[in-house]
Structure 1
Amino acid sequence: MAAATHYPVVGPMMQAPPKEEGENSWTQMLAEIGSKPASNIQGSVVFLGDEFCGKTSLLQRMTKNERQSFSSALEYSFLNIQSDYKDDSYAYQLGSSGAAAFGPSDYVNLPVYLLNGRTEFAPLLKFAFPKHLSKCCIVLMASLLPPENIIPSLEKWYKVIEEKIYETYDEKEIQAGMQAQYVEPLDTSMHNEHNSVELDPTLLPPEPNVLTRNCGAPVVVVLSKCDQYNEFTDDQLNRIQYHVRNFCISRGAALFYTSAKDDRNTYLLYKYLAHRVYNLSFTTPAYIVERDSVFIPSGWDSVQKLEIVKEMLSDLSLPQPTNEEIRSSTSKESTVSADEDEQTFLARLQTLLNEPVNASPKREPTITTKHSLTPQAASVAAPQDAASPIMSFFGNLMKNQSKFFL
C-alpha cells in the first residue's frame, strides 16, 4: 500500500503540490472566504454631540481601550461584533432588514466614527455613511449636566445629521431606510429550536406623535454622565426623562442612560448597536426603574406611557443644576466668546503693554509703640530695636572679610 503524499506549505527545499491540485485548493479556499456573509456586511455607527459630552470616554469603555486619544475632526474606531444565539426569548422585529446577516461563528469589525463637537466638521459625515442608510446607526449624545442644554443639543445634532443624509443619499435609499425604522417589540418566548413561531412581516402603522421625524437611519439617544444623578431630586430627574423620552418618541429613537466612569449600560449599548445595524438577537427588555440606568429600546415607548410620567410632574420645565459650582463652571464655559471685536481687543492689549511696569511694592514696616502693646509684648519687642545677635554676627563677619582684601 502506497504511503500518502503530504505537501508542506512553506520551506525553501519543500516540494510544491501539483499545479492542478494547488489551483483547486486555492480556488476552494477563496470561495469559502468569499461566501462568508461577514466579509460582505457594510454598516457604521456615528457618534454626535457637543464637546465634553463623553463620546470618547464611552467608546473607550465599549472597546476596552483606555489609551489616550487625541481630538480630531472625525475620529475612527471599531467594535468587534460576534453574534450570540444563546437566548432568543425576547427579540425585536425590524421592518425590512430581514434575518441576521451572519452566523454564530462569524464576526465583523463595525466601524465607529466620532465627529468633533463643532458643527463646522459636519461635511465630513459623508465619509462615515455606508452604502445603505438603514445600516448606519446614529448615536446622539448629551450630558446630564447641565440639564437645560440636553434638548437644544439633541435638536441641533439631529438637524445636522438629517441635512447631511438628504445631501448624501438619493430619495429611493432614504425611503427604504424610513420603511425599516419602525420597530415593534415581539414576545417570542414560544420560540425555541424545536418549535419556531412564524412572525408576521406586516407591521401596523405607528401611533399618533410617534416617529413623526424619520431621517431614514436608526437613532439612539445616549444621556451620559448619569453617575451624577445625585445632584437632582426625583422630580427633576422625572422632568429630564419626560423631555428626553418625548424627543425619542417623535424620532423613533432608543434611549440609554450611561456612565463611562461606572461602566453603566456600556455593554448593553454595544449589543444594541449590533442589533440595530446587523439585526442580531437582542434579549434585554426596557428598564425604567432605576433613575440612573434607564434603557428604552425603539418601539417600546408610547404617548400613553409618557402620560403616566407627566401626571406626576407639577412643572414641565427642564430643571437647573442644584450645585452652585456646576452652575458657575458652566457659565464660565459659555462666556468664552467675547463681545468685542478683534481690533478693539488688540487696541486694549496694546494699551496694557505700553503702561510702565511698576516695581513690586515694598512692604511697609509695621510701626508699633510701647503704648499700643501689652507689657508682655512690649518686653519682647523692645530688644528688636537694637541690633540682634544674628545681625551683630554678620556685621562682624563683613568687617573681618574686608580686612583680608585690603
Structure 2
Amino acid sequence: MAEEKAKENLWYAILNEQKPRFRKLVSNKSLLVLGDNGTGKTSLIAKLQGKKPPKHGAGLEYAYIDVEDDSNGDKAQLGVWTMDGDTGHTSLLALALNVNNFEGALVMLTVSMTEPWTWPEQLNHWINVLEGHIESLPLAAEQKEAARKQLATKWQSYCYPGSSLKQTSVGLNSAIDGDDLLPLTEDELTTNLGVDLVVVVTKTDCMAAAFQLEHDYRDEHFDFMQQWIRKFCLRHGAALFYTSIKKATNCDYLQKYLLHRVYGLPFQTPPMVAEPDAVCVPAGWDTLKKIDILSENNHGIQADSDYTDVIRAPYTGNGMYNRDLEFVETVDEQAFLARQLEILKRLDQEQAQGGGDTIHRTHRTSTGLRSTIITDSPESAGGEGILAKFFSSLLQKKAATSTADGSESGRNDTEKLAVPLDPSADLDRFSSNWKKADPKKPEEPQQNMNEHEQTKN
C-alpha cells in the first residue's frame, strides 16, 4: 500500500509540473479601451490586429485579437471593446465591463503625445468614470476585495525577465509564497480598482525637432512628462507604454504584454526608460526611487512643480470672454432709406419756410447713408463757411459716384437724397458771398477760387 501511494504521489507531482505546459486558452477574456477622441484608440487596435483602421468609428466598437500559444498551439480570441471619447456614451460601459467578464478584463487608457498638456485631465476623468462604473456593478464585497488583493499580489510578485523565478499562467511567481511578498512601498497602488490597467501614450513619432521648436520643449520637459505619468501609473498599479503606429514603436511589445496579463503568456521584454519616445514599464517594476532618478538629472524643472505650469497648452487666439452678448437688430436697407428721405423732405420744408440756402451732403457709413445739412446763413457767410460748402459739394459728388455700382433701387434712393451741384455755379456763388462778407479784400477770394480751379483741372 505504501508503494502504491508513493507511485500515485509521484505521478501527481509529474502532472503538476507539466500542467503549465498544457495551458488552455479561453475566449471569455476581454480588453476595454478608454480615451478621448483623437488619441488613436481605433488605429492602435487595428495595428495590433494587423488590419487597416476603419474610416469611421462608433459609440462602442467591438473587435478581437487572435491569440496563439506557441507552447501547445492552442488558439483563442481576445475580445476588444473600444469606447468613444464622448462622455455621453459612458452608459455603454455596462456592455463591455460587467459581472460576467469582470475577473478576466483588462482596461487600457490612451493619451496622445501631440497634446501632452491634456494628460492630467483626461486620465483623471477616465479613472473616475471607470471607478464609478465598477462601484455600480452588483458585485459582492468579498469579490471586489479578492480582485484588489489579486492585483496587489501581481504587482508585488513581479520578477525581472531572465531571473531564476518562473511565472505561472496567472502571471504570479510560483517560487514566492503570499506571506513572503514585500509590502507595498510609498505611493504604490493607492487607488486599487481591482482590474489590470495599462496606460498607453500614442503618437510618440511627433517628438521631433519641429515639435520641440513649436512648443519650446527640451529634454527636461519630456523627462518631466515621463515622471508625472509614471507616478500616475504607480498610484493606480498600471503598466506604461509609449507607442507609435508610424514607426511601429513598442506595438509588438504592447501586444505581447496584453496577452501576458490576460492569458499568462510569457513576456521577456525588460523595462525601457532611457529612450524618451519608447518607454516600456511593466506593472510592478517601477518604484518612487526609480522615478526620482529623472528628477535628479532634470536641473531645469523642479520635480514638485505643477504639471500644467510646466506643460502649458499653446495659445490659439480663440479665447472666450465671459460677457453678455450684445444683439443688434438689423434694419431693412430700403426702410432705412425711406425714413431718411422723409427726414430730408421735412428739413427742406422747414428750411424753405425759414429761408437761406441749404446743402445736403450724403455719405455712406457702416450703418447706411447719412445726410448732413449745411445752412448758408449770414452768420456763416465767412471764409470758413464758403470752404465748408465747397468741400461739402465735392463729398456729395463722390458719394453719388460711389453708389453707381449698387442696385437700381439704391441708385434711385441716392439720387433722391443727394442731388449733385454744378461746381462752376458753386464757385460763382462762393465768390459773391465772399465779397459781400469782406469788402476790404476783394482780390483774396478770387485768388483762392483760381487755385481751386487749377487743382481741379
TM-score range, shorter chain: 0.5 to 0.7
Residue 306 (str. 1) matches residue 291 (str. 2)? yes
Separation in structure 2 between the aligned mates of residue 147 and residue 160 of structure 1, nearest angstrom: 21
Does the Cα contact within 8 Å between 1:237 and 1:291 map onto a contact in 2?
A: yes
Does the Cα contact within 8 Å between 2:223 and 2:294 map onto a contact in 1?
A: yes
Question: Match of 2:206?
Answer: 228
Correspondence for 1:327 among 314, 317, 321: 314
Question: Match of 2:151?
Answer: 181
Does the residue aligned with 1:240 lie in a helix, a strand or coil? helix
**One-letter amino acid of the structure 2 residue matched with residue 173 of structure 1:** Q
Correspondence for 1:199 among 156, 160, 175: 175
Q: Structure 1: 5+ residue runs without aligned partners?
A: 1-34, 86-103, 363-406
Higher mean displacement: 172-181 or 231-240: 172-181
Question: Match of 2:106?
Answer: 137
Larger relative contact order (Cα-Cα within 8 Å, sequence gap ≥ 6) = 1
Separation in structure 2 between the aligned mates of residue 360 and residue 162 of structure 1, nearest angstrom: 68
Question: Match of 1:77?
Answer: 63
Does the Cα contact within 8 Å between 1:226 and 1:292 map onto a contact in 2?
A: yes
Identity in percent = 28
Within a 5 Å distance, the mapping from 1:141-290 to structure 2 comes to 141-170=110-139, 171-182=141-152, 183=155, 184-187=157-160, 189-190=163-164, 199-202=175-178, 203-230=181-208, 231=212, 232-290=217-275
Shift of 1:155: 0.8
Question: Match of 2:359?
Answer: none
Separation in structure 2 between the aligned mates of residue 360 and residue 206 of structure 1, nearest angstrom: 83
Separation in structure 2 between the aligned mates of residue 189 and residue 127 of structure 1, nearest angstrom: 40
TM-score of the superposed pair, with normalisation by structure 1: 0.64
**One-letter amino acid of the structure 1 residue matched with residue 31 of structure 2:** V
Separation in structure 2 between the aligned mates of residue 361 and residue 295 of structure 1, nearest angstrom: 72
Separation in structure 1 between the aligned mates of residue 135 and residue 70 of structure 2, nearest angstrom: 34
Separation in structure 2 between the aligned mates of residue 360 and residue 185 of structure 1, nearest angstrom: 83
**One-letter amino acid of the structure 2 residue matched with residue 206 of structure 1:** L
CA shift in 2, pair 1:167/1:285, >3 Å: same
**One-letter amino acid of the structure 2 residue matched with residue 288 of structure 1:** V
Does the residue aligned with 1:155 lie in a helix, a strand or coil? helix
Question: Match of 1:111?
Answer: 79
Correspondence for 2:39 among 42, 47, 53: 53
Separation in structure 1 between the aligned mates of residue 74 and residue 234 of structure 2, nearest angstrom: 34
**One-letter amino acid of the structure 2 residue matched with residue 117 of structure 1:** G
Shift of 1:339: 6.7
1:157-178 superposed Cα distances (whole Å, 9 cap, x missing partner): 1111111011124123322221
Shift of 1:353: 10
Q: Structure 2: 5+ residue runs without aligned partners?
A: 1-21, 167-172, 335-367, 369-401, 406-457
1:123-145 superposed Cα distances (whole Å, 9 cap, x missing partner): 21111125242421111111113
Alignment size in residue pairs:
293
CA shift in 2, pair 1:312/1:132, >3 Å: same
Does the Cα contact within 8 Å between 1:133 and 1:174 map onto a contact in 2?
A: no
Does the Cα contact within 8 Å between 1:48 and 1:141 map onto a contact in 2?
A: yes
Higher mean displacement: 283-292 or 226-235: 226-235
Does the Cα contact within 8 Å between 1:134 and 1:277 map onto a contact in 2?
A: no
CA shift in 2, pair 1:58/1:67, >3 Å: closer
Higher helix share: 2
Does the residue aligned with 2:110 lie in a helix, a strand or coil? strand
Does the Cα contact within 8 Å between 1:132 and 1:173 map onto a contact in 2?
A: no
CA shift in 2, pair 1:76/1:338, >3 Å: farther
Separation in structure 1 between the aligned mates of residue 236 and residue 23 of structure 2, nearest angstrom: 34
Shift of 1:311: 2.1
Q: Which has the larger radius of gyration?
A: 2
Within a 5 Å distance, the mapping from 1:2-81 to structure 2 comes to 37-38=24-25, 40-81=26-67
Shift of 1:154: 0.6
CA shift in 2, pair 1:207/1:79, >3 Å: same
**One-letter amino acid of the structure 1 residue matched with residue 145 of structure 2:** Q
Does the Cα contact within 8 Å between 2:27 and 2:79 map onto a contact in 1?
A: no
Does the residue aligned with 2:158 lie in a helix, a strand or coil? strand
**One-letter amino acid of the structure 2 residue matched with residue 110 of structure 1:** L
Separation in structure 1 between the aligned mates of residue 145 and residue 333 of structure 2, nearest angstrom: 66
After superposition, the CA RMSD in angstroms is 3.3
Does the Cα contact within 8 Å between 1:253 and 1:298 map onto a contact in 2?
A: yes
Does the Cα contact within 8 Å between 1:138 and 1:220 map onto a contact in 2?
A: yes
Question: Match of 1:392?
Answer: none
Does the Cα contact within 8 Å between 2:243 and 2:250 map onto a contact in 1?
A: yes
**One-letter amino acid of the structure 2 residue matched with residue 56 of structure 1:** T
1:151-200 superposed Cα distances (whole Å, 9 cap, x missing partner): 221111111111101112412332222112122322564479xxxx9512
Does the residue aligned with 2:151 lie in a helix, a strand or coil? coil
**One-letter amino acid of the structure 2 residue matched with residue 83 of structure 1:** D
Separation in structure 2 between the aligned mates of residue 360 and residue 57 of structure 1, nearest angstrom: 58
Question: Match of 2:389?
Answer: none
Question: Match of 1:124?
Answer: 92
CA shift in 2, pair 1:106/1:128, >3 Å: same
**One-letter amino acid of the structure 1 residue matched with residue 177 of structure 2:** P
TM-score of the superposed pair, with normalisation by structure 2: 0.58
Does the residue aligned with 2:106 lie in a helix, a strand or coil? strand
Does the Cα contact within 8 Å between 1:134 and 1:218 map onto a contact in 2?
A: no
